[in-house]
Amino acid sequence: MREIATLDYEQLGLTPERFDLGETPSPPQPAPRRGFVRRQLGARATRGQKTFDALVGVALPLVCLYFDPIVFRSAGFGFGAPLLGGYRIFAYAVIGLEIALLALWLALGERVGEWGGMLGGALVAGALFSLVVGVVLLPYSVVGLMLLIGALGFSPFLAAFVYWRNGRRALRASAARLGGTRRTLALAFGAALALGAPAYAHLRVAHAVGHAVEQLTSGDEAQALAATRRLKAFGWIAPGEFDSLVWAYAREPGAAKKERLARAYRELTGGDVETRLRVLND
């Protein structure tokens, strides 16, 4: 008995699995749950996040532009000149480009490869643009909460978040293909292209419209007719620029030239220049 008592369990042919020492293994611990912000900015987008981004970053801007009563265009109803009407061409170009790029990223994701650097830079630039527009509109949005449509004034802040989130993900997707320096350059080039190309288009159209208006006021009848034809070509992208005709009409002392400007404005917009002048002066 004394010899058996001195034997350990291995000498008796028992294994730890067969010889239970009474120790119970601790249950597996669940992975710590990430916070809300970390989930929203994670590298992988969930299906719900993609749906939200498509609605807020693609559909909602189009809805806002369609119902826009005062930001980039005036829809009447007693509103005066648009708040940002002078930047309409630039804004429309940026918004259209950002919608297209976000849709491309949501459709392809990491398959964009090294192009994610430029794409991410362009989306980050779109986030900055949306944030600036939201800040400019903030006082009017707060007042406009009394009307249902006033709530749309806060949509640029949501769009800014969506473009920022997807821009970060696109930049992260390009990290495996681009080094730090190349990715920084791609980001800068994408941002410059997203804002620079619309700015260039805006300046070119504004210059052409300004030159045509100058010919309407200072040229002869033939030049005025040619200028009106050129302005018609810009009617679908730069109707807000036609307010310069209204101000030229207000400054013009000669009755003949005032009639020429009024006729050109009616032909271009279908409206009355005197009525528009009263609206702009309100």
pLDDT value of residue 137: 87
Per DSSP, helices labelled H in 145-179 are 155-173
| Arithmetic mean of pLDDT over the chain | 79
Beta strands in the chain (DSSP E): none
The Cα–Cα gap between 100 and 91 comes to 14
- Report CA dihedral (61, 66, 70, 73) to the nearest 10 degrees: 110
Q: Higher-confidence residue: 146 or 121?
A: 121
Q: Higher-confidence residue: 26 or 254?
A: 254
- For 77-124, write each residue's pLDDT tens digit: 455 567 787 788 899 999 999 999 999 999 988 888 888 889 999 999
